[in-house]
Amino acid sequence: MKYSTQTMPAQTVVISPHPDDETLGCGGTLLKHHAQGDAIHWVIVTSMADQHEFTPQMIAEREEEINTVAGIYGFTTVHNLNLPTTQLDTIPAKELISSLGSLLNEIKPDTAYIPNRSDTHSDHRIVFNAAWSCCKTFRYPFIRRVFMYETLSETDYAPPFCETAFFPNSFSDISPFLERKIEIMRHYTGELKSPPFPRSEETIRALARLRGAAAGVTYAEAFMLLKEIS
């Protein structure tokens, strides 16, 4: 009898309230996961669809950006819950938790990246609460690691209280992947601007350099490790 020596690839999921959060928060790390042979999955919570302030052209351009970005990363699957952006506070928490939980049961990731609990944008905070509810070990035993990522212009603008501060305790060396991360961000044409705007190429590079210095590498992304089961 022959036994297979092949192992299933690790399954990694990133949950992003909006397209671009995945790149700002952990783009280099996602690229590293993919380079290591891991399967990577993208869950986008909100979309522009069916909202008066967005024109059909804007919606079409955003869909094109998502498709382009997904192709560059090489995501195994991409899921969009298509909930209204900036209006997650109008959605029952139970509905969001149920939708995310169903996707996680389908993907069965061992590693999850979720937004920071104290970001300025309410969508981020709501998504964190729902995602964390879907990380209960007794309901989702396949999730072995949960990382909370920082997002420029959201995490750094949280009010200056100790209970809302982002205290990184885990670092990912993205030195070989930083330039590709920035290249991906360029596809979000409405998001990058010139300094001192926080979402600029210079600021992305500066934050990666700062986090790298803390980790003893050239460039890094920083996370708060919320759970690890070894």
pLDDT of residue 2: 43
**CA–CA separation, 149 vs 166, rounded Å?**
9
Alpha-helical regions (H) of 44-177? 56-73, 93-107, 122-133
- pLDDT, average across residues 145-150: 98
For residue range 187-204, list pLDDT tens digits in order.
999 999 999 999 999 999
Reported as a single tens digit per residue, the pLDDT across 88-134 is: 999 999 999 999 999 999 999 999 999 999 999 999 999 999 999 99
CATH value of 11-228 in 3.40.50.10320, 3.90.1150.10, 2.130.10.10, 3.40.50.300: 3.40.50.10320
When pLDDT is averaged across residues 173-178 and rounded to a whole number, the result is 98
Exposed, middle or buried by CB within 10 Å (0-12, 13-18, 19+), for 185? buried
Model pLDDT, residue 213: 98
Alpha carbon distances (Å) from 145 to 57, 94, 226: 39, 23, 8
Quote the CA–CA distance of 187 and 224 in Å, as a whole number.
27
Domain definitions of the chain by residue range: 11-228
What Rg value do the Cα atoms of the chain yield, rounded? 17
Q: Is the pLDDT of residue 167 over 90?
A: yes
37 CB-side CA count, 13 A: 4
Beta bridge partners of 112: 13, 146
pTM above 0.75, yes or no: yes
